[in-house]
Chain A
Amino acid sequence: MAWGSIGKWLKPAALAALIGLVSLSGKMDAISDAAAALADKDLLIRWTSAWAGATREATPVTLIDIDADAMAAFGNPDRAPRQLVADLLDLVKTKRPLGVFLDIDLSKAGADAAADDRLRAVFAGWPNDAPVLAVARRFQKDKTRDDEDALRPLPLIAAAVIADKPHIRQAASVALADSDSVVRRWRLSQVVCDAGAGQAFASPQLIATAAATGRPQADIDRFLAWRLRQVCAKDAKDRPVWPRNAAAETNISFLFSGEQDAHAPLARRPDGVETPVFRRISARTLMGESRAALPADRVSAEPFAGRFVVIGASHADAHDEHMTPIGKLPGAIIAANAIAGAPAILSAIEVSAFGKTAMALLLFAAFAALSLRFRASVASVVVSLCSLALLPVLGRIFAPSSALEIVFAAIAMLAMFAAIESALEIWQGWREGLGWRVLLKPSKSPKEIA
């Protein structure tokens, strides 16, 4: 065999040996995982959210968790003791929070009527100058309607008491589970259309963002009135200016998992101080020996002041665990993620489906120009880097999920463009009489082509 012939195979053999060595060392798994991760939409939404500033602008949230420890102190009842919930509300309102979201099911009377009365008394006594209190309302599918998405609210034991309290709102904490049972998206508001008397409920993230940005309650009322008209009367005119991005359904920016040792992102407070976006406090630490909440003067205001407080339950009997892109989480932590990431999403520019397509086409034109000018490997690196650089920029201007949709659509168009271009080349070569050899890669080097 001639030396030239050996030389021809030397480079591919050396490359194959190198790849074989990497593979034998077990690193190929990590490389293939990383390559696959770059196509993981959930991961890229989290990155885009973080890089687009969702963390920095986040509403800091403190979760008072009625967890297994707190339940054990009450002899493990089936549901969160209402007496404790009432005590916690009394405690929290003295600590200057931005607002409070009570993420506890109050659709049925509890076993202890006195505790229910105590909770109603706390609602009745909620001062008009106190922070806004959002009370979760549960919804279930409305079987009387043909619409698959139609929900109807379950009763609320304190509905009558809070009806005339301006600083207490009923909130719809509704998330959407995709076909793989993973919760990824929130609903900004929940509208219930009834003949003549519809009702619109704000999500806790909408209420929290209004509280964190100093918006008056009237802004929420205006938005809900518009949503009611839009959904029930099909009249979308006179859209209120706030929130700027009123997309009904948006991906939740999962910024934290709530686990003790997990990476804790920081948000910047209005005074410039950095503070953890999320804090989780066991309700047990706020209870005394008698199981009542500690007196306010024995609890520091630091975990609550200037933060939105969620009172929720993570104990097993709450049956409120859901699959999310970052693992199985209690509903209260999903709500906390939605609340924390909401300002970046609600302040983004809302972009219609047509707008997204137009931007994706523009981006595709730029990517196609790059791929025509450069070699495939160089073009793919440049397109990848451009995509990663564009995600935070677009995510900052539009919502992170919209940014991802635009960039992914452009990449899909580019892939289709490359496939059609290759098919056309094959067809042209076939017509020029190359026969089956048209399927082979051209063997000439760039130098020979030049």
Chain B
Amino acid sequence: MRLWLALLAAWLLATSAAFADTRRPAGYVVAVETPDGAPAPILRRQGQELDVLVWTPLFDGDALEVSGKASVAIETAKDKRLVVDAARSPHRVSGELGGGSKFAGLASRLGELFKAKPDATPTNLVGRSDGALRLRLGDEAGQKVVAGKPIWLAWRGGTPPFDIELRGQTRQRKLDIQALARAQTENGEVKLIIPPHAAGSLRLIVRDAAGQEARAALEVTSAPQVPDWIADGAPPTDMAALAMALHLLMNQPARYDFYAAGLAAALEGAPARELLNRLKRGERPK
């Protein structure tokens, strides 16, 4: 008798888990963070333990268990977006994503009949000067910069004033992410010095008054190699520095944009200013 009951229970568990994906999900996992050493999050569904993967569907009644430093971001009908960490664990999922039933479809279509006028959206018929904040340089991933040397960056869009922040590690405190440099400006350009103690990966953040952000990833490295005919220009003249900047800006892929523009920004004179103006307009030397 016990054996039959056990078999029946096992069959019920297996079939209910198998039928779970025929239900409409309550939402999905959209990100899983498991730092080194942290235990993997677990999804409990009707007595079974499932792996938590990105875009795993979540159903009503599921329980998400997260421990240690791990975290799971979910998007569900009820919670919209929620990050489940050890403090919120276990998190029980409830609800069901809406839409789709025959009645809902019919109601939606009949509603469409009475909503024939499109929803009005106020639109400014004015030329924009507050477009999306976007860096003009540093399009390529992982811009290389040199500790102790200036960089120059320009951006378009956004609402002044702008806050510029350089965050990252130092040689002494490699685990600490901290603000290494800050600047504020009303213009769409700024010159910053990479602190001599900066090391590793840095993050450059430009924020505008409306809360928009533009970001770039930087990597502290040694000074770039340039052709001998530029490097040997003796004595190092402004012309040699400008030639070096142009050479680096023309490189494909452009890894030294900020650094090269920093060389030009350190110079006085019309040619250097003209180069920066062109960079600010989004042009590049070809």
**Which B residues are in CB contact (< 8 Å) with A298?**
32, 53-54
In angstroms, how far is the closest chain A Cβ from the Cβ of B52?
9
Q: Does A385 contact B (CB under 8 A)?
A: no
Tell me whether A264 and B100 are in contact in the complex, defined as CB-CB below 8 angstroms, given that A33-B117, A286-B54 are known contacts: yes
In angstroms, how far is the closest chain A Cβ from the Cβ of B8?
25
- Contact mask for chain A residues 297-318; partner B; CB cutoff 8 A; 1 contact, 0 none: 1111011000000000000100
In angstroms, how far is the closest chain B Cβ from the Cβ of A31?
9
- Inter-chain contact B138/A263, CB cutoff 8 Å: no
- Inter-chain contact B53/A300, CB cutoff 8 Å: yes
Contact-size category for B:
35 or more
* A25-48 at interface with B (beta carbon < 8 Å): 30, 33-34, 36-38, 40, 43, 46-47
**Which B residues are in CB contact (< 8 Å) with A286?**
54
Q: Does A76 contact B (CB under 8 A)?
A: yes
- Contact mask for chain A residues 38-82; partner B; CB cutoff 8 A; 1 contact, 0 none: 101001001100100001000000000000100010111110010
Q: Does B125 contact A (CB under 8 A)?
A: no
Tell me whether A111 and B140 are in contact in the complex, defined as CB-CB below 8 angstroms, given that A34-B114, A299-B54 are known contacts: yes
**Which A residues are in CB contact (< 8 Å) with B21?**
273, 302
**Which B residues are in CB contact (< 8 Å) with A285?**
30-31, 54-55
* A165-221 at interface with B (beta carbon < 8 Å): none
Tell me whether A266 and B100 are in contact in the complex, defined as CB-CB below 8 angstroms, given that A47-B109, A111-B139 are known contacts: yes
Q: Does B14 contact A (CB under 8 A)?
A: no
**Which A residues are in CB contact (< 8 Å) with B31?**
285
Alpha-carbon separation in the docked complex, A28 to B108 (Å): 21
In angstroms, how far is the closest chain A Cβ from the Cβ of B84?
16
Contact-size category for A:
35 or more
Interface centre among B53, B116, B138 (most CB of A within 10 A): B116
Cβ-neighbour of A33 out of B98, B100, B116, B139 (below 8 A): B116
- Inter-chain contact B253/A299, CB cutoff 8 Å: no
Interface centre among B24, B32, B100, B215 (most CB of A within 10 A): B100
Alpha-carbon separation in the docked complex, A113 to B252 (Å): 7
- Inter-chain contact A276/B100, CB cutoff 8 Å: yes
Cβ-neighbour of B55 out of A40, A113, A266, A302 (below 8 A): A302
**Which B residues are in CB contact (< 8 Å) with A273?**
21-22
**Which A residues are in CB contact (< 8 Å) with B254?**
111
In angstroms, how far is the closest chain B Cβ from the Cβ of A74?
6
Q: Does B198 contact A (CB under 8 A)?
A: no
Alpha-carbon separation in the docked complex, A354 to B83 (Å): 61
Q: Does B230 contact A (CB under 8 A)?
A: no
**Which B residues are in CB contact (< 8 Å) with A327?**
118
In angstroms, how far is the closest chain A Cβ from the Cβ of B164?
14
- Contact mask for chain B residues 190-231; partner A; CB cutoff 8 A; 1 contact, 0 none: 000000000000000000000001111100000000000000
Q: For the complex, would chain A's binding face be called helix, strand, loop or mixed by DSSP majority?
A: mixed
Tell me whether A112 and B253 are in contact in the complex, defined as CB-CB below 8 angstroms, given that A264-B99, A300-B53 are known contacts: yes
The number of A-B residue pairs with CB atoms under 8 Å apart is 106
Q: Does B270 contact A (CB under 8 A)?
A: no
- Inter-chain contact B141/A81, CB cutoff 8 Å: yes
Cβ-neighbour of A300 out of B56, B109, B132, B216 (below 8 A): B56
Q: Which residue of A lies closest to B100 (CB)?
A: A266
In angstroms, how far is the closest chain A Cβ from the Cβ of B107?
9
- Inter-chain contact B217/A300, CB cutoff 8 Å: no
Q: Does B90 contact A (CB under 8 A)?
A: no
- Inter-chain contact A303/B55, CB cutoff 8 Å: yes
Q: Does A389 contact B (CB under 8 A)?
A: no
In angstroms, how far is the closest chain A Cβ from the Cβ of B21?
7
- Inter-chain contact B118/A300, CB cutoff 8 Å: no
Q: Which residue of A lies closest to B30 (CB)?
A: A285
Q: Does B186 contact A (CB under 8 A)?
A: no
**Which A residues are in CB contact (< 8 Å) with B272?**
none
Q: Does B29 contact A (CB under 8 A)?
A: yes
**Which A residues are in CB contact (< 8 Å) with B105?**
50, 55, 263, 265
Residues of B within 8 A of A (CB): 21-22, 24, 28-32, 53-57, 97-100, 104-105, 108-109, 112-118, 132, 134-135, 138-141, 143, 213-217, 252-254
Give 20 A-B pairs besides A75-B215, A76-B139 with Cβ atoms closer than 8 angstroms.
Answer: A33-B116, A40-B116, A47-B109, A50-B109, A72-B215, A74-B141, A75-B138, A75-B139, A75-B143, A75-B216, A77-B139, A81-B141, A263-B100, A263-B105, A265-B105, A285-B30, A285-B54, A286-B54, A299-B55, A327-B118
Residues of A within 8 A of B (CB): 30, 33-34, 36-38, 40, 43, 46-47, 50, 55, 68, 72, 74-78, 81, 83, 111-114, 262-266, 273-274, 276, 281, 285-286, 291, 294, 297-300, 302-303, 316, 327
Could you name 21 residue pairs across A and B whose Cβ atoms are closer than 8 Å?
A30-B114, A37-B116, A38-B113, A40-B116, A43-B116, A75-B138, A76-B139, A77-B139, A112-B252, A113-B252, A114-B253, A265-B105, A273-B21, A276-B100, A281-B55, A285-B31, A291-B141, A297-B53, A298-B53, A300-B53, A327-B118
